[in-house]
Chain A
């Protein structure tokens, strides 16, 4: 190498000198390896569309806070019921019409004796229902041990406790009225128990700690917070599914219309205009009434798992979906068509066409991915509008059917007793507003980050 270099060089340079002067050595003339090549490229790491959008979205503080709030709402709606020992349909006895943080009389007693004994049992998990134990055999299972006993008379308003007396632990039965205000009690009956359960003995369950009714209870003794959680869950599910239906129909319809052009486009757009000018809510109200009975009949007769899932949601909600599928996709279709009209003049569409791609493939692979920004934004803003519609219908008494709750139906239930219990309206109304507000702000943020051209 050195020799070669010396030979072709017009100057007679001593390789040694060259090495000293420029810091070059033998290896300097080898082909560059991959790492060296990489370091020579003066470009940023390529950033994907989503990463770039996410970067922009993150810098928008309002939208980030709104996203956080929405996630909290989702947790409230979907994880919340797991932490509350009540269910949306449970009617707690003697616990009707409680205000926020209030306890029923029995719950107060249970709270008082919580510290006095190890555990107490009742027929059900709910403190409100510790009222009567029928005659018969009962069994309590705890820590691998079985306590079986027989009651020979009806025991009303009692609590069965697992109480340390001296060294031995024993089961006692205490009447509620013997419990003093400070939770202490002196009168009790000891229960004789064996460790083999009789056949058909009813198992008593441990009463959990009394969970506060943070939002109070309604006139039927149902815990309002759990109902609000389920209501929020129903509203969010409706919002998301309805938006997805709109996305599906709107994007397919819009892209077919845009790509086809000509008379097909003309007819399809006239249909859109027609549906657009129909006063939707009139039709929606009618649809609600019309669809409910046939849907219920369909649910009752069909056995497939899909229909079963739908029937869990209830006929009211399913007819909301149908309404969206029939009437609300037109805005989406118009937006997608507008985008497709612009995109289809692009070279890559011509190229795909020339390579023999079918129209379906062009729509799927080229057109829709390129308007994904618009699709995401419109879908996101569709969610609050679906939630609005559902709550509106529920408010008029046509949405979800009892005992299921939605935020709208909770508000409408609260309206009957509004002057006495205003908090029953306030809580679901605030949650509803917060969900819609956060989704609106997230949608605005998405618009700014996904479609920089629209940025103001």
Chain B
């Protein structure tokens, strides 16, 4: 187990390196620089390049990035908030915390609502309730997140004015309702579909019949026998859910003007603020990769049959 975790950790570091390398070289493949404005002279640009070390060969620049990242130093922003350390922008201005808070709540909502809904649908298979849930979830996975986000914004914030748009205070809970609903809705639907299918698979197994024959109560069968076994495919999907929620946060944060990491990343890409792009990519990919690792280990705990060392399909 320890050996496996260690191996996976090493692989994760490798993936992270690859992501950073791709980002870095892509970024530098764009003609243009963060310092080009209408007024700037070539001398000014050259001076700015020299100041931030952008005049060095690419490979040296990349090495410098890696070395400073190992020291926990993300450099200073080149354009968006010129001169401010990126660490301050990401962490001390609360961007990272805000995005994480939104993401985690959305993930929790997806799991806490999606899985029970799937169980209910599977348990009431063929009834109107199952039919209704199927229609809702099927339509739910076909609605793009930004459409849902905009519709919510128009309906509840602009027309009905029940909920505030986020530009106000970040303290009240109401502010988070719409971003979380639009972030998690797709995954609620998807997880519920997935749970229903795997639950139906599990319900038809022999051991369920045995349990029923022994006189175990339905509730106990569902919770103890069926659910546990049907959770395996669901857990494998949690990894992509996390990546998807982070992706979704780009759109949701732009729509509801949440001052989070996702919105900032999109802006920094458009502004070509190299250091911010690199740092945000690093933080977000580290998060996704780490969560994938956690999911893989959780997978092992839920299903002891899976041997972690062999990863054959």
Contacts and interface: CB of A to CB of B under 8 A. Distances in A.
Interface stretch (B23-31, B176-184, B222-230): B23-31
Interface stretch (A184-192, A368-376, A434-442): A434-442
Interface in A414-428: 414-415, 418-419, 422, 425
Contact of B26 (A290, A388, A432): A290
A100 interface: no
B147 interface: yes
Nearest to B25: A290
Nearest to B277: A286
A278 interface: yes
Contacts of B265: 282, 285
B284 interface: yes
A411 B266 contact: no
B160 interface: no
Given A338-B313, A391-B146, A433-B147, A277 B289 contact: yes
B145 to A, nearest CB: 8
Interface string A252-277: 00000000000000000000011001
B147 A411 contact: yes
A425 B270 CA distance: 24
Interface stretch (B82-90, B108-116, B167-175, B244-252): B244-252
A392 interface: yes
Given A279-B284, A436-B144, A422 B154 contact: yes
Contact of A277 (B15, B26, B32, B246): B15
A152 B151 CA distance: 55
A287 interface: yes
A295 B52 CA distance: 29
Contacts of B29: 290, 294
B62 to A, nearest CB: 15
Contacts of A433: 139, 142-144, 147
Contacts of A71: none
B196 to A, nearest CB: 10
A454 B11 CA distance: 33
A337 B313 contact: yes
Given A279-B19, A282-B281, A440 B141 contact: yes
B150 A411 contact: yes
A391 B288 CA distance: 23
B125 to A, nearest CB: 10
Interface residues of B, number: 53
A289 interface: yes
Nearest to A341: B313
A395 B146 contact: yes
A396 interface: yes
A: interface residue count bin: 35 or more
A282 B200 CA distance: 36
A27 B51 CA distance: 107
Interface string B82-121: 0000000000000000000000000000000000000000
Given A278-B285, A279-B285, A418-B158, A384 B30 contact: no
B306 interface: no
B150 A283 contact: no
A290 B25 CA distance: 10
Contacts of A432: 144, 147
A453 interface: no
Contact of B153 (A285, A341, A418): A418
Contacts of B272: 289
Contacts of A408: 144, 146
Contacts of B292: 277
Residue in A282, A338, A440 whose Cβ sees the most chain B Cβ within 10 Å: A282
B53 interface: no
B59 interface: no
A204 to B, nearest CB: 44
A345 interface: no
A273 B289 CA distance: 12
A279 B289 CA distance: 8
A274 B15 contact: yes
Contacts of A338: 313
A293 interface: yes
A179 interface: no
Given A279-B285, A289-B270, A411-B150, A274 B14 contact: yes
Contact of B23 (A277, A282, A397): A282
Contact of B18 (A278, A290, A337, A419): A278
Contacts of B15: 274, 277-278
A429 B151 contact: yes
Contacts of B254: 396
9 contacts: A274-B14, A277-B12, A277-B288, A278-B15, A279-B288, A286-B23, A290-B27, A419-B158, A419-B159
A-B pairs, 9 with minimum CB distance: A437-B142, A281-B247, A436-B142, A429-B147, A279-B288, A419-B158, A395-B146, A290-B26, A286-B26
